[in-house]
Structure 1
Amino acid sequence: MKIIFASAHADPDSWMKPLQALIPAAEIHPWLDGGPSIDAQLAIVWNPPQDLFLRESGLKAVFNLGAGVDAVVKLPGLAEDVAVIRLEDAGMSAQMAEYAVYALVRASRQFDEYEMQQQQQLWRPLGNIKRKEWTVGVMGMGVMGARVAQTLAGLDYPVAGWSRSAKQIPGIESYSGEGGLPVFLARTRVLINLLPLTADTTGILCRNTLAQLPGGAYVINLGRGEHLVEEDLLSLLDSGHLRGATLDVFRQEPLPKGHPFWRDRRITITPHTAAASLREETIEQVAGKIRQYMAGETLSGVVLRDRGY
């Protein structure tokens, strides 16, 4: 069986060699821009080239080196019968939970204000935290969303989750569907987005939804930059309806110089580093799934194309 490795990683050999060692029954070939088709049956990808499916038209399954598959499913030539298999966790959920804790605690414990006071050489203790007032809402209750919600609930924050279909997670309020969104937003002071990017979720963090949060709310976007309507966020910050935001993902990455987010003290920026798939765990998981595929076994992580995740 031939496998094409088409990834934007800077050092493909560091991925291909251990993958080949774990899948000795297959031939793994690197993608070469402008090269000929190798008649591959499988592909291992991350941010693959636009002509992947046009050149390798015989592909039967694609294994993505990340949880988000939006860069794969939008490529031209992807046939309906080609299975797309996403990465499941591989160390990302713990990192995402750490990041969410950092962003939430920074806001709820007023550490951002203490940073500004330090610059002014002010010694002024602020009010103690009233944890029950810091209601958290997590949008997207997959593996990572559930881990984030449970971690924050473990710190005694009131946590709710919202997802397309109802999810029952101990200690977490559950809201789902369009009907559950307004109630979810109205009780959420800190909104954390971990939704997959689909046609339905693009632009979901817009004026209409964010204005339903209580006054002084805080937004943490860990999903995709396309979830957020940037102009609406700035407008709601200027009006005082939103207090601040922590953003790890953006419509255009790297974030362009001169973008208004850079100099806005109400916004904390990180360069898409909230959670990275750990290389060894990722290689082991993908290799294991390919061995299962070759043995005709049922795989987990298969993307439902009508949902986009």
Structure 2
Amino acid sequence: MSLLIVCPGRDPENWIETIRKKDSAIECYAYPEDHQKEDVEFALTWNHPRGIFKNYPNLKVIASMGAGVDHILSDPALPDDIQITRVVDDKMTEDMSNFVLTQALARLRKIQDYTKHQTEKKWDRTQYGRPQDTKIGIMGLGVLGDAVAEKLHKNNFQVYAWSRTEKDCQNITCFHGKEQMEEFLSHAEILVCLLPLTEDTRNILNADLFDMLPEGAYVINVARGEHLVEHDLLEMIDNGHLSGASLDVFREEPLPDEHPFWEHEKINITPHIASLTSPESVVPQIIENYDRMMDGKPLRHEVELEKGY
């Protein structure tokens, strides 16, 4: 039996080398090199070609290379009775927490404004904000959302959080369900999106939601580009209701050269780097799940398909 890596646009060599170093007994191939499709039972993937996995009659498990699985679940031609797993990694979780904290502090200290002033040779001081005086809202209380909320609390922010179902987090004011969304949003001077991408959350960052935020609120999206209705964000910034946004994810990546986000002075762009997967850190859990599959044991970090995460 063999493991297949499918990651168009990415170099799979580091993954292959790391897997072979950790367990030389695993027969590993990188798509589209020659391999026997009948031998493949486990696939490790990111943004696979749609419909490809229907060609593997004995495939049992599709493992995401990252925390997100929407790139897998969006394929309408997935094999029946397939198991799907995602990555849960302490290093990636810490990276995400640090990134969101960095963006929130940069907003309070107006770093983007001063970067612009530097290009203009403009010496202009303005008053900054402080974490203890700032209410920040986290949408999504999964592994990443929990960690981000805790990091922000430890750095003295007033933290609020919203999730689909009821959660009880120490030191965090929690809301849940559609009926509590508006109350949650009314507190979010900075709004952070860490939701999984599902049919319910697609386009959730829209004009109606933004309108429920306090005047001058700031948006940080580190989840998925499809959460955001882009023209709604631009309109709400340009009419003054939102003060700006920090975006790490986009509907189309890389962001096209002609996209209006590039030159908007109130939008900060980073190229999907809030939390990057390290093969050295992640491969041990991939190999563990491969062994569990071979032994008929329950998989770790398996996705609940009906929920989409």
| TM-score normalized with structure 1 length | 0.93
Q: Identify the residue that residue 88 of structure 1 maps to in structure 2.
A: 88
Q: Which amino acid aligns with 2:155?
A: L
User: Superposition pairs for residues 1-309 of structure 1, below 5 Å?
Assistant: 1-8=1-8, 10-32=10-32, 37-89=37-89, 91-309=91-309
SS in 1 for 2:87: coil
Asked if the contact 2:50/2:75 (under 8 Å) is kept, the reply is yes
1:90/1:285 contact within 8 Å kept:
no
Tell me the SS of whatever aligns to 2:157: coil
Rounded to whole Å, the distance in 2 between the matches of 1:75 and 1:131 is: 42
How much has 1:35 moved relative to structure 2? 7.2
Match of 1:288, SS state, is: helix
The residue matched to 1:91 in structure 2 has which SS? helix
AA at the equivalent of 2:201: T
Residues 292, 298 of structure 1: 8 Å contact kept: yes
- Indicate conservation of the 8 Å contact 2:204/2:228, yes or no: yes
CA–CA distance in 2 between the matches of 1:150 and 1:168? Answer: 13
Change (3 A) 1:128 1:106: closer
What is the CA distance between 1:158 and its match in structure 2? 0.3
Report Cα offsets for 1:203-256 as digits up to 9, x if no partner.
000001111000000000101110000000011011100000000111111111
**Following the alignment from structure 2 to structure 1, what is the Cα–Cα distance between the partners of residues 52 and 104?**
40
Deviation per CA, 1:116-162: give whole Å up to 9, x if none: 44444444443253544421001111111111111111111101111
Asked if the contact 1:89/1:144 (under 8 Å) is kept, the reply is no
* Structure 2: distance between partners of 1:176 and 1:159: 15
Q: Distance in 2 between matches of 1:7 and 1:283?
A: 15
Q: 1: CA distance between counterparts of 2:235 and 2:11?
A: 41
Single out whichever of 237-246 and 249-258 deviates more from structure 2.
249-258
- Whether the aligned pair in 2 keeps the contact of 1:3 and 1:42 (CA below 8 Å) is yes
The answer to whether the 8 Å contact 2:18/2:279 transfers is: no
Secondary structure at 1:102's aligned position in 2? helix
8 Å contact kept, 1:45–1:62: yes
Q: Is the 8 A contact 2:51 2:78 kept in 1?
A: no
Indicate the SS of the match to 2:37: coil
Classify 1:203/1:145 alpha carbon distance in 2 versus 1 (closer, same or farther; 3 Å): same
1:248, 1:197 → 2: CA distance?
15
Q: Which amino acid aligns with 1:224?
A: R
Deviations 1:49-73 (A, max 9, x none): 2232221132111111111111111
Change (3 A) 1:49 1:128: closer
Q: By how many angstroms is 1:282 displaced?
A: 1.2
The 1-side partners of 2:250 and 2:138 are apart by: 19
Which range is displaced more, 73-82 or 224-233? 73-82
- Mean CA deviation greater in 267-276 or 168-177: 168-177
Query: What's the % identity of the aligned pairs?
Result: 35
Structure 1 unmatched runs, 5+: none
Q: What SS does the corresponding residue of 2:287 show, helix, strand or coil?
A: helix
SS of the equivalent of 2:40 reads: coil
What is the alpha-carbon distance in structure 2 between the residues aligned to residue 111 and residue 214 of structure 1?
22
Shift of 1:187: 0.8
| Count of residue pairs the alignment pairs up | 309
Give the Cα separation in 2 of the matches to 1:221 and 1:181.
17
Residue 289 of structure 1 deviates from its aligned partner by 2.0
26-35 or 231-240, which deviates more: 26-35
Q: Distance in 2 between matches of 1:25 and 1:33?
A: 19
TM-score normalised by length of structure 2: 0.93
**In structure 2, the residue corresponding to 1:17 is in which secondary structure?**
helix
Unaligned segments of structure 2, at least 5 residues: none
Report SS of the residue matched to 1:41.
strand
